[in-house]
Amino acid sequence: MVLSQPGSLGHWSGSEPDGSRRRGGSARSQASRLAILAATARLFAVNGYDRLTIEGIAAEARVGKQTIYRWWGSKSALVAECLLEGSLMPAAFVPADTGDLAVDLREWLVELFAFVDEAANASMTRSLFAAAAENEDIGRILGESLGAGSALIRRLRRGVEAGQLGVDAPLPELAKALVGYVIVHALERAGTPPDLPERLVAALLP
């Protein structure tokens, strides 16, 4: 499994969209921005989404609250940007391509389960689901990170090309079902039997 580079989706340049600078005033402080994102990631990991507070972030980042409100409209926007930066979880779980689809999917699931099962990540992951439920962007980015968006589908498509999957297999549905399984699994807080990835692959890729 290969993680795409954190920050590769970055979208902040310090300039106006057209590349010019505004008439007057200081430019946005990159230092403050990074401190805020780092504080958000740290406090999210420690306390979870609902105990995450703007005041706490501002204090941790040694920043005025207004500086947060100036650039992010809400707690969830802040979390969404952290997610994009890859500070909360690997920016994307991408299945490898060894040529054998079943093996690659199994390995991908093993990593995914390992991630969501690890105690340190588990409650944070669930918190992310809560955040996703409140904020569409977070939902989309989270789905993307877990692979449902495109990386997983691309791998499945290569499986079709290799004849390991029927040509008419509904790839997006398969991908969403896989990711959905992982989410339900994480919400259930049940452990992962070692053969689960195997069985799951068998169930969906007969």
Binding site for DNA (CB under 7 A): 21-29, 32-33, 35, 51, 53-56, 62-67, 69-71, 74-75
Nearer to a copy of itself, 61 or 148 (CB): 148
**Which one of a copy of itself, DNA, none is in contact with 124 (Cβ closer than 5 to 8 A by kind)?**
none
Is 79 a binding residue for a copy of itself by CB under 8 A? The answer is: no
Helix axes 171-188, 101-117, angle to 10 degrees: 30
Cα four-point dihedral sign 110, 176, 79, 96: positive
Tokens standing for residue 51: 């105990």
Q: Which residues pair with 88 in a beta bridge?
A: none
**Which one of DNA, a copy of itself, none is in contact with 133 (Cβ closer than 5 to 8 A by kind)?**
a copy of itself
Nearer to a copy of itself, 28 or 176 (CB): 176
What is the Cα–Cα distance from 96 to 49, expressed in whole angstroms?
A: 31
**Which one of DNA, a copy of itself, none is in contact with 55 (Cβ closer than 5 to 8 A by kind)?**
DNA
Is 118 a binding residue for a copy of itself by CB under 8 A? The answer is: no
Is 177 a binding residue for a copy of itself by CB under 8 A? The answer is: yes
Torsion of CA 58, 122, 112, 45, to 10 degrees: 10
